[in-house]
Amino acid sequence: MTDLRRRVPRTDEILSAPALVAAASRLGTRTVKAVVASVQEQVRQGAVAPEEVVSTVVGQLPASATSLRPVLNATGVVLHTNLGRAPLSEAAVQAMVRASGYVDVELDLGSGSRATRGRGALAALLLALPAAESALVVNNGAAALVLATTALAAGKDVLVSRGEMVEIGDGFRLPDLIASTGARLREVGTTNRTRLEDYRDAVGPETGCILKVHPSNFQVVGFTSSVGVAQLAALGVPVVADVGSGLLVADPMLPDEPDVTAALRAGAAVVTCSGDKLLGGPQAGLVLGQIQPVSQLRRHPLYRAFRCDKTTLAALEATLTGPVPPVWQAIRGTRAALRKRTEALAVAVGAEVVPVDGAVGGGGAPGVPLPGWAVAVPAACAEQLRIGATPVLARITDGRCLVDLRCVPPEADLALTEALLACMS
């Protein structure tokens, strides 16, 4: 015991090894020291030879200074909330890296004077949405909604259809959110049917705005009716339309998904949505609308509290101006193209190909299947895939683990093949 203790190399000696000096500059001294301490303990217990300390430390260091681990999304669900919703395009990633140091986010380099924060992202939004007169970017869709209802209706009524009193996910309930803004929620109509007269009867001097929320994560079918933005806009109070997913213009693949352009054309004063759902960009909340109401939001003190980061602004701009983001590549992935990749994977691992439906997810387009293919492996593989060197998230259906390539970038097919071979051997 004493002998082993004497043979444990000293901490400063270990840390001065070139490989660990480099590791400390990449991961931080504290992280490297913690691993060194643990390996020294392993030497004391006789599990590691003293001359192998440095190489053992190198082997036990974390891969990155962040504990977040990249995973392969083989669930077929494009916007998976637990997996961070939209994966960014390479252009957006590069933009974030470029914006991560000192940048002219709020400075005009020509004149040396202060400039509008995130003006590049705002210009890109207005270019993508000719129907919008003005735009703002905040941290997320919920913040955009809170800002809109607070600025337009604090101390007043917000009229909302009973059919739109929704929980969007993760306990985010619309009524609670509105209550937190100091506006009074006034429900109109019933769960399944709300008519224009219901709104008209409720509009009065106390009305701050009408809120039209897209119930994005469920469908009500049968004896239903609701009132469109155009009819509401004619009632003479500002209409806030929360379209949720951030679809900028109508898309034939998602016929029931409301889009920002249509809501603006119909006369909404303000339209809010997320940046990291169907837009395929970074987490953000977008506010688009008419000049006067949007500037009312911009002047509200809460806007400062919801202000987003320079790297978000950079990624948003790159998503809007750059190539088709991964979210849309996945949604548009054709059965034929998916079949080819899926069959190659199935042959490589000796498994069967089965038809599956993927989904948009993230509380979007609940009724829209995305037909594709999956490799079916034993259910027991799901856990091994998840905890493997390259974590793979698959789906379990009917007692089988289904690996869907829709949201897996083709360049990761090899890594996926290896992960599957490892768990099937």
Ligand X SMILES: *Cc1c(COP(=O)(O)O)cnc(C)c1O
Binding site for ligand X (CB under 6 A): 140-142, 145, 168, 213-214, 216, 242, 244-245, 274, 285, 363
CB of 103 to ligand X, least distance (A): 24
Nearer of residues 149 and 216 to ligand X, judged by Cβ? 216
Residue closest to ligand X when measured from CB atoms: 141
Nearer of residues 208 and 244 to ligand X, judged by Cβ? 244
- Amino acid at the residue 63: A
Cα dist. 126→136, 286, 306 in Å?
10, 11, 20
Distance of alpha carbon 344 from alpha carbon 329, whole angstroms: 20
Nearer of residues 214 and 400 to ligand X, judged by Cβ? 214
State the DSSP code for 88: P
Residues 6+ apart with CB under 8 A from 83: 71, 73, 75, 393
Distance of alpha carbon 424 from alpha carbon 90, whole angstroms: 32
Nearer of residues 118 and 244 to ligand X, judged by Cβ? 244
CB of 80 to ligand X, least distance (A): 13
CB of 167 to ligand X, least distance (A): 10
Nearer of residues 23 and 360 to ligand X, judged by Cβ? 360
CB of 280 to ligand X, least distance (A): 13
| Secondary structure (3-state) at 7 | helix
Does an H or E element contain 353, and which?
strand 352-361
Nearer of residues 164 and 317 to ligand X, judged by Cβ? 164
CB of 140 to ligand X, least distance (A): 3
DSSP string, 357-405: EEEEETTEEEEEEEEEEEEEEETTHHHHHHHSSS-EE-EEETTEEEEE-
CB of 1 to ligand X, least distance (A): 57
Distance of alpha carbon 17 from alpha carbon 53, whole angstroms: 10
Nearer of residues 174 and 392 to ligand X, judged by Cβ? 174
CB of 121 to ligand X, least distance (A): 16
Q: Is the dihedral of CA 205, 206, 208, 214 positive or negative?
A: negative
Residues 6+ apart with CB under 8 A from 191: 162, 163, 220
